[in-house]
């Protein structure tokens, strides 16, 4: 009888451990995303001072390429180079194959819907988005479209006339499945 009870309490303990561990993980991801942005401020300053490819921490394989701000949502984010999962955990990533930030063509920046790019949900057509490049230049963009795209069929267009900024995140915003096929795409045109 006692062993049965012990087994039951063991099960409770295991469930508790699993639950707390997952909750911890769930809290760690956004915490890391927030903390990384703070750490990168310094790397950004070094970039603006002319440092080439200033890594935010010694072992980082990515460097800040732009500062993205959305005044209407009180958002300011350092954008890292590259769109790999490792990069996106710390910051929105600029996809290397797209046009450099602020240049002619389509600059594409991707971010996680539940951390850095959660604010995209509230971005409306006509709003301003600013992009600051390490050379100190500020580029203002106007949001001209929001769109939901199926990534299984769709893809991102690189050949655009004029300078465009495309912000990509996952969709729907409150879905739980991290591997869903839909993407929320905001298109902004340089003013």
Partner 1 sequence: MQTNKTDVRSWLWVLALVCVLKAWPADAQELRWTTGQGYTTATALDTAVEMQINGLVARVAVRQEFQNDGNEWTEGIYVFPLPDRAAVDRMRLHIGDRYIEGEIREKEQAEREYEQAKREGRKASLVRQERANLFTTQVANVAPGELVVVEIEYLEDLRFEDGQFSIRLPMTLAPRYSNEDVDDSAAITPVQVMASRRHRITLEAHINAGMPLALVASRYHPVSVRENGGRYHVELAIPNTPMDHDFELIWRPVPSAEPRAMAFTETIDGEPYHLLMVMPPDQRDTALARVPREMLFVVDTSGSMHGVSMTQAKKAVRLAIESLRPGDLFNVIEFDSYTSALYPYSMPANSVNVGQAVSFVQALQADGGTEMRPALKLAFESPARDSHLRQIVFITDGSVGYEDEMFSMIERKLGNARLFTVGIGSAPNSLFMRKAAEAGRGSYTFISVLHEVNEKMSALFRKLENPQVTDIELAWPSGVQVDAYPSVVPDLYLGQPITVRTRALGGFRPGDALYVSGNSVAGAWRAGVPLDASASAKGVAALWARARIGELLDAERRGGDTSLLRADIVATALTHRLVSKYTSLVAVDKTPVRPAGEPLASERVPNLMPYGQGALMGFPATATSAPALRIMGAGWLLAALLLLVMIRTSRPRAQRY
Name residues contacting partner 1, limited to 87-146 (CB under 8 A): 88-89, 93, 95, 97-98, 104-105, 108, 110-115, 117, 124-125, 145-146
Contact pattern from residue 162 through residue 181 relative to partner 1, giving x for each residue in contact according to CB under 8 A and a dash for the rest = x-----xxx-x-xxxxxxxx
Rg of the chain in Å (alpha carbons) = 20
71 touching partner 1, by CB under 8 A: no
Helices and strands: H and E segment counts in the chain = 2, 8
Cβ 150 vs Cβ 168: under 8 Å: no
83 touching partner 1, by CB under 8 A: yes
- Name the phi and psi angles at 6, rounded to 5: -60, -40
Nearer to partner 1, 3 or 136 (CB): 3
Interface region with partner 1, contact rule CB under 8 A, candidates 15-23, 38-46, 47-55, 63-71: 15-23
Q: In angstroms, what is the minimal distance from the CB of 117 to partner 1?
A: 7
Q: In angstroms, what is the minimal distance from the CB of 130 to partner 1?
A: 21
Q: In angstroms, what is the minimal distance from the CB of 17 to partner 1?
A: 9
Nearer to partner 1, 67 or 113 (CB): 113
Cβ 150 vs Cβ 90: under 8 Å: no
Among positions 11, 35, 45, 140, the unique one binding partner 1 when judged by CB under 8 A: 11
Nearer to partner 1, 58 or 179 (CB): 179
84 touching partner 1, by CB under 8 A: yes
Rounded CA-CA distance 185/178 in Å is 17
Q: In angstroms, what is the minimal distance from the CB of 32 to partner 1?
A: 9
Beta strands in the chain (DSSP E): 64-70, 75-81, 93-94, 105-110, 128-132, 138-150, 163-170, 182-190
Query: Which tokens is 174 given?
Result: 């409150």
Burial class (CB in 10 A: 0-12, 13-18, 19+), 128: middle
């Amino acid at each position: 009888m006692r062993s049965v009870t012990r087994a039951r309490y063991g099960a409770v303990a295991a469930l508790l451990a699993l639950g707390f561990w997952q909750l911890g993980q769930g809290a760690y991801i956004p915490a890391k995303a927030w903390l990384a942005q703070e750490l990168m401020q310094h790397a950004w300053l070094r970039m603006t001072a002319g440092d080439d490819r200033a890594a935010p921490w010694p072992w980082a394989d990515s460097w800040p390429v732009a500062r993205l701000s959305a005044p209407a949502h009180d958002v300011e984010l350092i954008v890292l180079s590259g769109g790999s999962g490792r990069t996106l955990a710390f910051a929105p990533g600029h996809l290397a194959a797209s046009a450099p930030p602020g240049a002619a063509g389509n600059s594409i920046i991707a971010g996680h819907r539940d951390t850095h790019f959660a604010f995209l949900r509230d971005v409306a057509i006509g709003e301003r988005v600013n992009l600051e490049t390490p050379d100190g230049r500020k580029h203002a963009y106007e949001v001209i479209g929001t769109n939901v795209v199926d990534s299984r069929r769709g893809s991102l267009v690189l050949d655009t006339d004029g300078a465009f900024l495309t912000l990509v995140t996952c969709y729907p915003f409150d879905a739980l499945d991290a591997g869903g096929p839909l993407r929320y795409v905001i298109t902004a045109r340089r003013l």
